[in-house]
Structure 1
Amino acid sequence: MKTEPARSISNSSAAVLAIDLGSTRLKGAWVQADGRMGQVLATDSPVRIPRQTPEGVWQAVCHLLFRLLQHPEAPSSILALSLTGLTRTHVFLDRNGQAADQLVLWDDPYGESCAAQVAAAYGVSDTLRFGAFHPLARLLQWTQDQAHAPRAMLELKDWLNFRLTGELATDAVVYGRLWSDTVAVPQILERLGMAATVIPSPRAADTLLGQVRAAPAAGLAALTGVPVTVSSFDTWCATLGMGAIHEGGLYDISGTSEAMGAFHAQPRHPRGAVCLRWTRDLWHIGGPCQTGLGTLAWFARGFLDTDDPAATLAAARQSTASEPPLCLPYISGERMPWWDASLSASFHGVRESHTRCDFARAVVEGLALAHRLALDEIGLRTSDATIHMGGGGCSLPDWCQMRADAFARPILVDENPESALAGAALAATVALGYHPTLTAAQHAVRQRSRSILPDPARSRYLEGRLAGFSSLLHKTLSA
């Protein structure tokens, strides 16, 4: 079979239009086929609005697309449109293909009461990972609440792709959350009383879904006929954009919430981790945490009169306590590795001498310890691999150093702060044939990263704190 040569990537008058719908910000940029990114346009994420509807999100995305089309950097030729964004955010469709309800967001424990039913459909008794945040638990809960099943349940990104192209599909990485090595997904759905089509068929992230339909919205006529990439959620795109997808690769994506994982040639199933086929050759072991920079912002709002995570880090630097409080930082439950929506935040070992800055330090250390313990729990910190770090947290030096110290591993910080946008664009270049594989796409982009080494003394200090943190957490989990 003859292999087609890769297309030229030297045309600067053509670019991919990439969109990243995050939990805090909605961002977009023009990205050339060689990975060079133009100015990033951003606005508040529409999902921050309480009881937001899918239609409200659509309007916000269309407005950003219009701004990008009008921007001075807009190219004369649009290679493709590629969307990414937050995952475990679901849209239910009615029989006419319209959104039938408000969004179910990533942090909503909706479906928690259906854990036992979903686990039984998989033929297992352990309900861990099958309750709150599991797609089928949400699907079953919605069906019970409405007394009928939806036509389909889609991730928000896939619903936006549907609005653009008219094509119903689930990206294959997300579909892998439903995977079982003993029972097929259609059979699981049948056991739950659902039609197999309620979860649209999977499509690979680095393929084309279809083309933008005529006049998708006012002011967007220029997008008519533009190819749309299947793409995948922000974590997948970010690992691609930072060049972390390789055998033994270990990553930490630091945003409103944290995502951590590693890549292996064979599937592994440590308890509490998500095992997904990430590419045709590699499996991802890891998952999303509920905690992250959003937790720092929570402390800043409550105690520092701002919602800037950097303010919490600055306050923590002022702490002079020889032994600050220990903080369990779970303000909205936790996903990997505990999958417990009922976990809450708490401070322990509080003394009269402790100040607001000491509490800020406790939160910062608590997050680092929580994520270190998560890696230990699922066996990902046993290798000596450098950790690729991406996301908004890369712009906060104290946060990066704290993670290097807590993980006791070098941190390789991605200098591109928008690795998810870069990855979404790279997926499009593979789909269009500019790169033959995702691996080639990563090699083609010059990865300029800086290494942050752990401070041995700080690593020893945090290692000593870890035992107390772990003991408190497990007492809470067993209560």
Structure 2
Amino acid sequence: MADVVLAVDLGTTSTKVIAVDRDAGVVASAEHGYPMRTTPSGEATHDPVQVWSAALEALREVGALGLRVRALSLTGAMHTLLGLDSAGVPVTPSVSWADNRAVDEVNRLRGTPDGAFLHRRTGTPIHTMSPLVKLAWFTGRGVTAHTWCGLKDYVTRLLTGHLVTEHSSGSATGLMDLHTLAWHPDALAFAGITPEELPPLHAPTDSFPLTCDIPGIPLGTPVVLGGGDGPMANLGVGAVAPGVAAVSLGTSGALRVVRDRPAVDPLGRVFCYAVADGLWVLGGAVSNGGVVAQWAAETFRTDVETLLAEAALVPAGAAGVIALPYLLGERAPWWDPDARSALIGVRREHGRAEIARALIEGVAQQLALVLDAVRSVAEVHSVRVTGGAFRSDLWAGVLASALGLDLELAEDSEGSGVGAGLLGWHALGELPDLAAAASLIKPTKTIRPDDAAQRLYAARRPAVERLYQSLHDLGY
């Protein structure tokens, strides 16, 4: 019977419960899914009761295995928002980061001195993903709630009876002052709410006793508040030392590096979110990752594996085709929910292989632009990577060449889930600090850049910026 921390990872399409031992090993896991409601108007929401039911079922499944559960530790998708009544019952759906309905609220702030000030103070870019503008969207339409919170906060309340949030998730709301670790009055004024309508803020390592009856998990077990999936993913791949970035690449992607004080870059291209123990991640998320290959496969009526195999035979540079892969708008470094995709340089001789290669190179170039922005604030000399896209040698090789850095592939370790588990062990006092926790994660493979491809991508990258700006100026 193993001693474990159960990491509860509330994702966009499913909740995973991962049993993590003291050495960062994954002992067991369970996963239960749920739908996300999307509409042409830009809605992207979850039913919070369905998410709770999935989490409870996954906890029961792992709890039945007879493990010695030392603690639960929570993580989940950032930027979620829902309203509760005075009894803690949802009065709105849970709005996802992907919800794009608050475009008018973004346009009121984006590019203004007030917007730049709030980005600097809260660390969250002005974008439809941000709960700041989602709240303004709700309150501007007369929607009220006793308390507004994140989806993870709602689950925490059902597990412990306490409705609280922590600095990691709070720093991704656009409402928390990075320097005072308190709700920011100017952000609250824009959102149209008061501090009393938000949960109290706590440290990510704080915990409350379990009060929900789950077979196999004793009542009173500590429930560690944890943090957002991005910061926890850095811990989960072992990227908390200065200069070591983490890249995750699945349907979407992100690049983040840890530092010991909060900041954003002067041009407002990166976010800044809390991890724990005075550490912060700087970086940027891109909305388009593996989704571009899925879209191309559907468009060309083939499967992703076949298309990637064909694209791998095309030399670097995609035979002259350049892609701006903004199928879902774009986040870093543009933070433009209305950004549109483009294929430039297509000729009759080009086919699906060249177009697919160009799309993959476009995603890698976007992450390289994020790296350039991060480097204006913090050093980056190595990269740990995780995510389903790295099962493909093409994705891995193109990204290594675009970043111009060796990629150290972390164990297929569930990223943010393992990070939350390690944070739980740290909160229990079993790991002295986050550096000791991160040292338990060992890379299993190194992907090196191709010199010729690296030079080609670096030479093209300024053109990618100009092409985006030209399309933006045309209203695309």
Q: TM-score range by the shorter chain?
A: 0.7 to 0.9
Which of 56, 65, 75 lines up with 2:59 in the alignment?
65
CA change 1:299–1:380 in 2 (3 A) is farther
CA change 1:21–1:185 in 2 (3 A) is closer
1:409 paired with 2:405, answer yes
* Residue of structure 1 in register with 2:193 after alignment: 194
* Residue of structure 1 in register with 2:287 after alignment: 290
User: TM-score, normalized by length of structure 2?
Assistant: 0.87
C-alpha RMSD of matched pairs (Å)? 2.8
Residues 20-54 of structure 1 show CA distances to partners (whole Å, capped at 9, x for unaligned) of 23234432222112211124333445447875311
Residues 46-91 of structure 1 show CA distances to partners (whole Å, capped at 9, x for unaligned) of 44787531111111222222222234xx41x211112222111222
What is the CA distance between 1:174 and its match in structure 2? 2.2
Counterpart contact for 1:316–1:357, Cα < 8 Å = yes
Distance 2:379 2:242 in 1: 12
What is the CA distance between 1:15 and its match in structure 2? 1.2
CA change 1:48–1:29 in 2 (3 A) is farther
Which of 13, 22, 32 lines up with 2:2 in the alignment?
13
Distance 1:384 1:131 in 2: 25
Distance 2:321 2:344 in 1: 5
Distance 2:375 2:318 in 1: 31
Distance 1:190 1:268 in 2: 21
* Residue of structure 1 in register with 2:391 after alignment: 395
Counterpart contact for 2:286–2:366, Cα < 8 Å = no
Which of 355, 377, 388 lines up with 1:359 in the alignment?
355
* Residue of structure 2 in register with 1:36 after alignment: 25
Distance 2:107 2:350 in 1: 43
What is the CA distance between 1:456 and its match in structure 2? 0.4
Residues 152-210 of structure 1 show CA distances to partners (whole Å, capped at 9, x for unaligned) of 222212221112112111221122243447996352255344220222122222221x1
* Residue of structure 2 in register with 1:243 after alignment: 238
* Residue of structure 1 in register with 2:86 after alignment: 95
* Residue of structure 2 in register with 1:173 after alignment: 168
What is the CA distance between 1:98 and its match in structure 2? 0.9
CA change 1:125–1:263 in 2 (3 A) is closer
Q: How does 1:34-183 map to 2 (within 5 A)?
A: 34-47=23-36, 51-71=45-65, 74-75=66-67, 77-115=68-106, 123-124=114-115, 129-145=125-141, 147-177=142-172, 178-180=175-177
* Residue of structure 2 in register with 1:5 after alignment: none
CA change 1:476–1:359 in 2 (3 A) is same
Amino acid at match of 1:206: T
User: TM-score, normalized by length of structure 1?
Assistant: 0.87
* Residue of structure 1 in register with 2:415 after alignment: 419
What SS class does the counterpart of residue 436 from structure 1 fall into?
coil
Q: How does 1:303-382 map to 2 (within 5 A)?
A: 303-306=300-303, 308=304, 310-319=305-314, 323-379=319-375
What is the CA distance between 1:122 and its match in structure 2? 8.7
Counterpart contact for 2:36–2:46, Cα < 8 Å = yes
Distance 1:322 1:78 in 2: 51
Distance 1:45 1:38 in 2: 24
Counterpart contact for 1:111–1:134, Cα < 8 Å = no
CA change 1:169–1:312 in 2 (3 A) is farther
What is the CA distance between 1:337 and its match in structure 2? 1.4
* Residue of structure 2 in register with 1:8 after alignment: none
* Residue of structure 1 in register with 2:122 after alignment: none
- Percent of aligned pairs with the same residue? 27
What is the CA distance between 1:294 and its match in structure 2? 2.5
Unaligned runs of 5+ in 2: 39-43, 120-124
What is the CA distance between 1:424 and its match in structure 2? 1.0
What is the CA distance between 1:360 and its match in structure 2? 0.9
Distance 1:298 1:359 in 2: 11
CA change 1:39–1:311 in 2 (3 A) is farther
Amino acid at match of 1:258: G
